[in-house]
Homo-oligomer: A and B are copies of this chain.
Amino acid sequence: MTPTYTRKDFTSDQDVRWCPGCGDYSILAQIQRVLPDIGKPRHEIAFVSGIGCSSRLPYYMNTYGFHTIHGRAPAIATGLKSVNPNLSVWVVTGDGDGLSIGGNHLLHVMRRNVDLNIILFNNQIYGLTKGQYSPTSEFGKQTKSSPVGNIDHPIRPIGVALAAEASFVARTMDRDTKHLQQTLLAAAAHKGTSFVEVYQNCNIFNDGAFFPLTEKATKADNTVVLEHGKPLIFGKEREKGIRLNGLTPEVVKLSEVDESELLVHDAERADPVLAMLLDRMTHPQFPVPLGVFRRVERPCYEQLMQGQVDRERKRKTPDLAQVFRRGNTWEVTKRS
């Protein structure tokens, strides 16, 4: 039986060392808030991170934790989960850690569908190294390493996850604590890789990157919350919706178009095409979708691995002495 926890049970004795005002605080707090509800005893939870501001998170969690090296957390978590499928394993990464140096591991862990909860803190900047552009930074952005503008076309985290056919893909924001909590819980409940992109404000090196989406005044018009089976409606008065025109989404007014014409979200669609289409909706042309883009079931890597072990064990009794003797053997006797 899992003990009844409170947030405090998940708070370690280490001082939290992020810049005051950093969005990471909220994400940490929501993680600590939802963990009591995932039904796992504390010692069966492990947090694995790479390197970056965000990746300091495991130090603050009173669970098992491993602050590893830059970009490699998905691989380390794969090893851990492979040898102990019973653990609830969380990967904490940043837009640089996860999509720059670690992009390939992320891709491969998702296609393998290792049962991990991957939380990518996207602040569109390298925080820890003091402000260079990241793979999600906007084109043209001036930073320390791009004084006359970034010439890299930004990457879409959700798009990469979908290309890898991740079985759970969602997006949420540091400032929407409720939605963040819901999303984390949904991720935890999902069997298979859960990929959650969290928009996170770095108030030191990229302040306000998501303000149009996160601030009260503009949020309702600039975001649309995806709910499985529900039409895409948004706006302060929920007066707008998204309709599909062929393969092209368009914003319509509910005063002009009937709700029944709206695009209805289907997170459980077998193929990721709808999710891919939604991922293309970007601010300011469209409201930015938040919530679960995709949630499908497919076998988890560690289960398949364990399954092969179990099956093989039944098929062939392990016998070391017999294995040693495989192939041709011969006896040497003492010569007279």
Contact = CB atoms under 8 A, between A and B. Distances in A.
Interface of A: 100-104, 107-108, 111-113, 135, 148-149, 151-156, 159-160, 162-165, 247-248, 271-274, 276-277, 280, 298, 301, 304-305, 308, 311-312
Contacts of A247: 247, 273-274, 277
Nearest to A278: B273
Copies in the complex: 2
A165 B149 contact: no
Interface hub of A162, A163, A274 (most chain B Cβ within 10 A)? A163
Given A153-B298, A248-B271, 18 more contacts: A103-B107, A104-B104, A107-B107, A108-B155, A111-B153, A111-B155, A112-B152, A112-B153, A148-B308, A148-B311, A148-B312, A151-B308, A153-B165, A163-B163, A247-B247, A273-B273, A273-B277, A276-B276
Contacts of A155: 107-108, 111, 164
Contacts of A272: 280
A153 B113 contact: yes
A95 to B, nearest CB: 13
Contacts of A163: 156, 159-160, 162-163
